[in-house]
Amino acid sequence: MQTDALQGGFTDAPVQAAQAFRAAMNAMARPGRIEPMDSAQPPAPMSPAAGTLILTLCDPETPVFLGDTHDTPAIRDWITFHTGAPIVSAENAMFAVGEWSSLQPLERFAIGTPEYPDRSATLIVETEGLRPEGARLSGPGIKAVAQLSLPDLAPFQRNAALFPLGLDFFFTSDCQVAALPRSTKVEGF
């Protein structure tokens, strides 16, 4: 294990984890809303927001998949040291992190079962920027319509059609996070 893996975690874990959890839940409860998130400093190319989500939501019982863009020894060591989360294949992951292209095809991730819809994966999609423009979002947690710059449209429409099954998404860019739960309807850009 490289000594870099020991750096970049929470400096005040109880407080920072609680703040990050609240930001993550606010983002998920209000699809399209962009929240600040920057407590962690993971190895590149993982953003502070994605690293903070991993530290907050993962532990030894939550297997993580790393897309090609993020599957580096430094990131593997960092996640293992700070969370104990096992690094697994896409089919066995509860969480996945990487750029949009490195997480394709989405069909390899668990979408839950009718008896246990919660046994699905949550994808942390790293983006170049988050903006409240582009795709129109509607559904629970959205007063009328929200907008969010999504990397594609059709996969999120297909995902919403699977509800109550499906994937949940966090989108991260630098020190920001937004979310798209499976219950959100997505319409044209």
Q: pLDDT of 150-161, one tens digit each?
A: 999 999 999 999
Residue 9: is its pLDDT beyond 80?
A: no
Task: Quote the pLDDT of residue 5.
Answer: 65
Residue 116: is its pLDDT beyond 80?
A: yes
Q: List, for residues 17-51, the tens digit of each pLDDT value.
A: 899 999 999 999 999 999 999 889 999 999 999 99
d(CA 149, CA 46): 19
- Domains annotated on the chain, with CATH: 3-181 (3.40.50.11310)
Question: Contact 81/116 with Cβ under 8 angstroms?
Answer: no
How would residue 3 be classed by pLDDT, with cut points 50, 70 and 90?
low
* Better pLDDT: 11 or 169: 169
Predicted structure pTM score? 0.94
Question: Contact 120/112 with Cβ under 8 angstroms?
Answer: yes
Mean of pLDDT values over 158-180: 97
